Structure 1
Amino acid sequence: MTRIDEGGRAARAYGRVQTRAALASVPAVAETLVGVPDAERASAIAEVAAAALPEHLRDAFVALLAETEELRRTLAVARRRIEELEKLVEADELTPVANRRGLIRDLARTLAEVGRHGVRAALIFIDVDKLKMVNDRYGHLAGDAALVHIGETLQAKLRESDTVARLGGDEFAVILRHVDAQQAQAKMEQIVAAVAATPVNVRGESFTITISAGLHVLSPGETVEGVLRFADGAMYAHKTNKR
């Protein structure tokens, strides 16, 4: 083996030792930065590690850190965009509430919480009374205004932790979280009364819209389809009793 080869091997070995020494200092530095925001902590650790590296490795290390930071920013932007798109996909086109897809997602999540953690929750199924008569008498613009009125009223009477959705046509649904059967029943009666209490005004015409609602308290082991079916049946019984 030539002296050149031996010198190269020695230089590489020395570089590895220095690199390991620099990286070994990272945990100790990290412990002194507890409570510092992630971005600032990462920057401080990188500066310490870079300073401890031999000069011929420092530039490459700094360049790698810059690429990593750029990737982190790109990923953060992509995640925000995905969240925005998911909200659009799960939003109703007419009313200010979620659509059926949004409800199904939240209902599945809530059922999982009920089964795993014993969270108390309920589903209210809602059907608009005589919407066809409103459309026939006042026009479809009035029917749309009635649906918007219902969506806005439901949102105003519920918490941010609850879910309000329009399933399509004249059907809505509400997921109530952290409520028992009595509390859910009281909330259902409240929103039924609130919708009827405020008239809908369209092009000088004023009319009252009412809703029928059915309640189902969620239990462990239930499915999304089963819960919707039970709540729909309760709503139909309410509508039948009003006739």
Structure 2
Amino acid sequence: MVQIPALTLLVLCVLWITILMRLQVEKASVVRDTQDAARTIARSLQTHTLKTIHDVDVIALLIKYGYETAPLTFDLARYQAYGLITADTALQVTIVGANGHVLASTLPFKGIVDLSDREHFAVHRTDPAKGLFISRPVIGRVSKQWSIQATRRLDTPDGRFGGVIVISENPAYLTDGFYNSAALGRYGMIAVISHHGFTLSRRAGEAPSTTGGALLDNYTSVARAPVATVIDPVDHIERIVASSTIDRYGLTVVAGLSLDEALDDYYRMRRVYVTMAAVISALLIGFAARIMSLVSKLHKRKDELRRLSETDRLTGLYNRGRIKDLLHEAAAAPDAGGKVAAIFVDLDNFKQLNDTYGHQCGDEVLTVLAERLRMAVGEHGAIGRLGGDEFLVVVQAPDAREAGTRNAEAIAQALSVDLTVRGKPYLMRASLGLAVLGHNDTADDLVRKADHAMYEAKKCGRGERVTTWHAFDDADCSPQRHGEGIDVEQKSPA
């Protein structure tokens, strides 16, 4: 029966381990596919950003060439009129003189606009070899809008610092012009980050692109690994992020896909798997419980049948077959000689009680006497009813004679108390025969000896109103010779 829970537990362990391993494999596959998708999006964003910055640089080089060739006659408005500068290519183009004042712009301005304090102005004035410089996002003093300023140095004919060409680009174009919700999902994210530690533009989901600000300045930590799973420092969404660098312009592009969104199908599949496993587990446990219940009932029925087959129905003592089996088992044990005793009990006046009060009353008396025998012997021996008014007690002890003597005296004492029969006191007299197994005796020999001793006790106690018992002694006679070898001195009143 212990095997059923163990087998059920084994099946459940195999089931759940298989399910969990399968789910782990599925999750790893989804994460791997999402990483590949993030890398692909990052490479596409890299291409888009590179083209956008390159187009801006082409405009800067074109204006640089035109201005340096003829600074006095250069007309920025003509470039705009010819369509070389449009809103699609640049938000604003500005020419700044060597003193930092705006000389020309594609947007109207009034008075003196001083840009000498801008970072790009200081960079180009001090570094003649500096190429295209992309500044931190700022609010333009002419456009009054957030812009990324891509700048190049202007030189005079003698090579001195002549000013700066400023191409102002809308930062949102870097991300809005690329974002595709079909590829990035509802919670996808793309960003363009400068190697100088600031974010040019970022967009997540359907929210508008953002640029600048303290939070985005910390966004560079996201781009530290080519592919990683990170919690976004801006919106705190866990994403699988891939990045790609544009070393030519000192930029890194980042593409992130929401981990929860990527695992959405996996979560649904996991719920199905776990639900199925839970149902199967419940069915297995229920089936095992049912089997255990049936097996338990079968064992109980088997035990009950065995008890009925071994028990006397009237008294609840062992029946004739079972007490004889116990005696044979005890006698067959190694070195059983002197360690097994039998007490044969015969009720002397039971027939008289039956004839006087009837068999029903006799059955009631037998039940009471059986309980007295059980209480007298206790755990020191086994008691069986041989039939009618005869009982057999089997005693096992290192000194069987001493133990048998104690049991015989206890039985005699128990039977010395009057019974109540039909409201009247009645003393049941019995004859007990005690015998100890000899070294060469069999169980049947022991029963014959006990029976022999019982008859001697019956003869000696005839006419008396007390229970008598006698012990068979092999040292004095042979058990086959009836009437000899009985120690009559051990006769004792109950």
TM-score range, shorter chain: 0.5 to 0.7
Give the alignment partner of residue 78 of structure 1, picking from 298, 308, 313. 298
Specify the alignment match of 1:187 in structure 2.
407
Task: Within 5 Å, give how 1:68-107 maps onto structure 2.
Answer: 73-107=293-327
Q: CA RMSD in A?
A: 3.4
Superposed counterparts of 1:17-166, under 5 Å: 43-53=8-18, 73-112=293-332, 114-115=333-334, 120-160=339-379, 162-166=381-385
Q: Are positions 1:237 and 2:456 aligned together?
A: yes
**3-state DSSP class of the match of 1:189?**
helix
In 2, distance between residues paired with 1:68 and 1:138?
A: 56
- Name the counterpart of 1:207: 426
Per-residue Cα deviation, 1:166-207 (whole angstroms, up to 9, x for no partner) = 1111101111233521121122122112112x2111222221
Q: Cα gap change, 1:116/1:236 in structure 2, threshold over 3 Å: closer, same or farther?
A: same
Counterparts of 2:446 and 2:403 in 1: how far apart (Å)?
18
State which structure, 1 or 2, has the greater radius of gyration over its C-alpha atoms.
2
CA distance in 2, matches of 1:131, 1:103: 22
Shift of 1:238: 1.4
Aligned positions, number: 203
Aligned 8 A contact 1:92 1:166 in 2: yes
Distance 1:206 1:238 in 2: 24
> Deviation of residue 230 (structure 1)?
1.6
Deviation at 1:84, TM superposition (A): 0.7
Decide whether the 8 Å contact of 2:336 with 2:437 is kept in 1: no
User: Does structure 2 conserve the Cα–Cα contact (< 8 Å) formed by 1:146 and 1:209?
Assistant: no
Q: In the TM superposition, what is the alpha-carbon distance from 1:49 to its structure 2 partner?
A: 3.1
Whether the 8 Å CA contact 1:214–1:235 is kept in 2: the answer is yes
Q: CA deviation at 1:155?
A: 0.7
**Deviation (angstroms), 1:138:** 3.5
- The alignment partner of 1:115 has SS state of coil
Q: Which moved more, 1:64-73 or 1:178-187?
A: 64-73
| Secondary structure of the corresponding residue to residue 428 of structure 2 | coil
Tell me how far apart the structure 1 counterparts of residues 329 and 299 of structure 2 sit (CA, whole Å): 20
Could you say if the C-alpha distance between residues 139 and 81 of structure 1 is closer, same or farther in structure 2, counting changes exceeding 3 Å?
Answer: closer
Quick one: distance in 1 between partners of 2:18 and 2:285? 14
Q: Which amino acid aligns with 1:214?
A: G
What TM-score do you get using the length of structure 2 for normalisation? Answer: 0.36
Which blocks of at least 5 consecutive residues in structure 2 are unaligned?
A: 23-276, 463-494
SS at match of 1:158: helix
Residues 79 and 224 (structure 1 numbering): CA distance in 2 closer, same or farther, change over 3 Å?
farther
Q: Give the secondary structure class of the aligned counterpart of 1:214.
A: strand
Deviation at 1:90, TM superposition (A): 2.0
Q: Distance in 2 between matches of 1:149 and 1:88?
A: 20
Match of residue 88 from structure 2 = none
Provide TM-score, normalisation by structure 1: 0.68
Residues 66 and 219 of structure 1: CA distance in aligned 2, closer, same or farther (over 3 Å): farther
Moved more, 233-242 or 42-51: 42-51
Whether the 8 Å CA contact 1:214–1:233 is kept in 2: the answer is yes
> Which whole-Å CA distance do the structure 1 matches of 2:447 and 2:431 have between them?
15
Looking at structure 2, the residues matched to 133 and 66 of structure 1 have their Cα atoms a distance apart, in angstroms, of 60
CA drift at 1:242: 1.6
* Counterpart-to-counterpart distance in 2, 1:185 and 1:117: 18
Report deviation, 1:129. Answer: 1.1
Cα distance in 1 for residues equivalent to 2:312 and 2:429: 20
Change beyond 3 A, Cα 1:220–1:64: farther
Contact 2:337 2:437 in 1 (8 A): no
SS at match of 2:334: helix
In structure 2, what is the Cα distance between the partners aligned to 1:65 and 1:179? Answer: 50
Equivalent position SS for 1:173:
strand
Task: Give the 3 Å change call, closer, same or farther, for CA 219–78 of structure 1 in structure 2.
Answer: farther
Structure 2 match to 1:226: 445
**1:103 alignment partner AA:** I
- Uncovered stretches (5+) of structure 1, i.e. residues with no partner: 1-36
